[in-house]
Amino acid sequence: MLKENFHNQGRYDWEDEAYVEFKKIDTNLLLAKEGETGAIRKAWNIIKYKILKILYRIGKNGTDPISVFLSMISLLNKMFLLIQILLVYYLIKLKGDVK
C-alpha cells in the first residue's frame, strides 16, 4: 500500500525503496514462520533465505538497472567459463579414447 502511495505521488525512488524493504520483511517473516519445523526443512529454509537475500542485494528486485545489468554480465561470464571447462574436459577425454 505504501508503495502504491509513492507511485501515485510520483516519488518513484521511494516506491522502489519501499518495495525492496517490503520484500526483505516478507522474506524474514517467511523464514521465521517456516523455521519452526523439522531440521531438514529448517536447513532448506535457511538456504532459500540466503539465496533470496543475495538476489535482493544484487538487483534490488529489479529496481536498480545498473545492478541488474552487472549481474547479468557476471552470470554470462560464469556460464562462458563453465562451458570452456566442460569443452576442455571433453577434448581431453576424447583424446584419451583415441589411443
Confidence of residue 7 (pLDDT cuts 50, 70, 90): low
Q: Tell me the domain boundaries of the chain.
A: 1-63, 65-99
Residues 59, 68: contact at Cβ < 8 Å? Answer: yes
**What's the CA gap between 64 and 29, in Å, rounded?**
24
Confidence of residue 91 (pLDDT cuts 50, 70, 90): confident
What's the pLDDT at 18? 75
Read off the pLDDT of each residue in 12-20 and give the average, rounded to a whole number: 72
**What's the CA gap between 82 and 76, in Å, rounded?**
10
Instruction: Name 41's Cβ contacts closer than 8 Å, sequence gap at least 6.
Output: 34
What's the pLDDT at 76? 92
What's the pLDDT at 20? 75
Read off the pLDDT of each residue in 56-61 and give the average, rounded to a whole number: 67
What is the overall mean pLDDT for the chain?
Answer: 76
Q: What pTM value is reported for the model?
A: 0.45
